[in-house]
Structure 1
Amino acid sequence: MKKMGAQMFLSKKKQTQLLKVIQSLHGSLDDYEIRKQSGYLLLDLLEAECVASFIWNHEQKSFDKGVFINRDPQTMINHNDVLTPNGLYYGVSLDTGDRSNHIGYFRVWPRRGKKSFDEKTLYLLDLIRPHFCNAILNSQSYQTCHLASKQVIMNLSGKTDLSSASTTISREQLMRDFSLTKREADTTLQLLQGHRDELIAQNLHIAFSTLRTHLRNIFSKTNVSSRAALIHRVYSQL
C-alpha cells in the first residue's frame, strides 16, 4: 500500500467514489436523507456489506433515528455488535463528537467472509468525518430555524394553518415591493408556507443548487440574513 507523507494513494475510481459521498453529504438538509444517500455510496467506496447510522438525541440522551442499509434492525444487539454466524465480523464506525458532545455516527460492516477493514478504509473514513459532522450540524441548525420560522409565521399572520398563512400575499406584491423575480417571489411564497428546501425545489421543479441561488438573492434584496427574518420582513411590510 503506497503512502504519500500523511496522505495515502487513492485510485481514480476511489477518488470519484469519495467525491460522490462528500457531495451527497451536502446535498440535503434532511439528516435521514443525508445518511441514506451517503450510506449507499459508502457501500461502494468501502466495499462493505451493510451500513447503520444513528443521530444523538440530546433530550433522551441516546441514539435514535436509525438508518439501515442491507441490515435488519432486529439484528442490532448493540452499537458494537458482531454477527459471526452470518459471516459478518467487527465493523468500523465513523463517529462525530466525543463522549460529552455526541452528534451521530455511521457503522459499516465488511463484506461476508472478510474479517476486518484495511488501513485504507480507516483513512477514507477520516476524510469523510468532518463532512459528515458538518452535514448533521447544518441539518440540526436548519430544523431549529425551520421551527422558528413557523412560529414567526403564525404570530404575524394570526393563523395556525401554515398552508393558508401566505394566501393573502401574492407573487405580484413580492415582485413589486422587494424587486424579486418571478422565481424568487415563488420561492418566498413557499417559504411563507413553512416548506422545507427539498419540497420547495420539488414544487418549483428546480435543482437544489438553483434554490440556494434564489435564497441568496432574496436575502440580499430584502436585506435579511435568515428565513425567520425574511418572513418577519414580508409580513411586517405587506
Structure 2
Amino acid sequence: MYVTAAESRVLARVFGLLSEDLGERDVREAVGHHLLELLQADYYASFVWEEATRTFGKAVFLNMDPKNLANYDRYYQHHDPITFKLQARREATLVTQVMPQRELMRTEFFNDFLARDGLHWGVNAYSFVGDRNIGDVRIWRGRHRQNFDAHALELLRLIEPAFTGALVRAAGGAMHADASPVLRLSVREFEIARMISDDLSDKEIAHRLSVEVSTVRTHLKRIFEKLGVRRRSGVASLLSRH
C-alpha cells in the first residue's frame, strides 16, 4: 500500500504509542487523537463489549457531547442498526458497507443520536482475541466531508494488530491464554509476516524494508519460533485465520 510522508509520520507515532506500557483505557483514548489526524476525521469513540450485560461500555471519546454519549449508553445502543453488523465483520469496515447512507439517514439512531453531534460518514474497527471483542475504534466525519475510502481501511488494518496487542498487554496477561500467537509478533515481525503471506521472497522483503537479506532471515527465525511453525506456509495460514 502507498503511504504518504505525513501518514508515515503519524503511523510512527501510533506504533510508538502502542509499544508503551499503558492502561487499557489510556490505549484507546491516546490512539484516538492520532487516528483523527491520520484519517482526517472529526469524531472518535471507543467502547468495550461487555458480554455479561450484552452492552458496549467503558466509553472514551473525542469531540462528542458527553450527554449524547450517555444517551447511547442508556438507549440508542439498543436501537443501533449498524454496530452489530460492523462488529460481525471483525475487521475495519465502512458504515456504508453494512447499510446504505440514505437508509441510515432515515433511522432514529442517525437523526436522534449521530446527527446531534454532526456524525455522518463512519468507519469502525474491532479488536478480537479469539471470539472476544476487547475494544473498538469508531471514527466519523461530518456531513460536509467525503466518505472514508479503501485507503482508510488499509491504514486501520495496518494498525489493528498493534492496537490489539497493546490492549492484551494492558489486561495484565489475563487474555494471553486465549490470544492468537500472532499477537506475540512485534510490529516489524508482523510486517514481514504479512509480506510472507503475500508470497514475497526474502530478497523482495529485504528490498522493500531497505535491509540486508540476513536481517530478514533473523526476523523469520523469530517469527517461526513465536508462531510455532516451521514453514512460510504456516505463517500465511495463521495470518489468514487471525
TM-score, normalised via structure 2 length: 0.50
Q: 2:46: which partner in 1?
A: 53
Matched, 1:67 2:60: yes
Task: Report the identity percentage.
Answer: 31
Matched, 1:12 2:5: yes
Query: Which of structures 1 and 2 has the larger relative contact order (alpha carbons within 8 angstroms, sep 6+)?
Result: 2
Q: Is the 8 A contact 2:124 2:139 kept in 1?
A: yes
Which deviations, in whole Å up to 9, do the C-alpha atoms of 1:40-69 show, x marking residues without a partner?
111111111010001233443432111011
Q: 2:165: which partner in 1?
A: 134
Q: What SS does the aligned partner of 1:104 have?
A: strand
**Partner amino acid, structure 2, of 1:53:** S
Q: Distance in 1 between matches of 2:160 and 2:32?
A: 13
User: Aligned runs of 1:48-197 on 2, under 5 Å?
Assistant: 48-75=41-68, 76=72, 77-78=76-77, 80=83, 82=110, 83-84=114-115, 87-97=118-128, 100-142=131-173
**Partner amino acid, structure 2, of 1:47:** Q
Which consecutive residues of structure 1, in runs of 5 or more, have no partner in the other structure?
1-7, 146-238
Q: Distance in 1 between matches of 2:22 and 2:118?
A: 35
**Partner amino acid, structure 2, of 1:132:** F
Q: Distance in 2 between matches of 1:142 and 1:97?
A: 15
1:90 Cα offset (Å) = 3.2
Which deviations, in whole Å up to 9, do the C-alpha atoms of 1:56-92 show, x marking residues without a partner?
3344343211101111243343364543465421311
User: Aligned runs of 1:190-229 on 2, under 5 Å?
Assistant: none
Q: Is the 8 A contact 1:47 1:111 kept in 2?
A: no
**Partner amino acid, structure 1, of 2:163:** F
Q: Is the 8 A contact 1:55 1:105 kept in 2?
A: yes
Q: What SS does the aligned partner of 2:125 have?
A: strand
TM-score, normalised via structure 1 length: 0.51
CA RMSD of superposed structures (Å): 2.6
Q: Distance in 2 between matches of 1:48 and 1:87?
A: 12
Q: Please, which moves more after superposition, 8-17 or 66-75?
A: 66-75
Q: 2:233: which partner in 1?
A: none
Q: Is the 8 A contact 1:25 1:35 kept in 2?
A: no
Cα distance 1:139–1:127, how it changes in 2: closer, same or farther (>3 A)?
Answer: same
Q: What SS does the aligned partner of 1:65 have?
A: strand
Count how many residue pairs are aligned between Structure 1 and Structure 2: 138
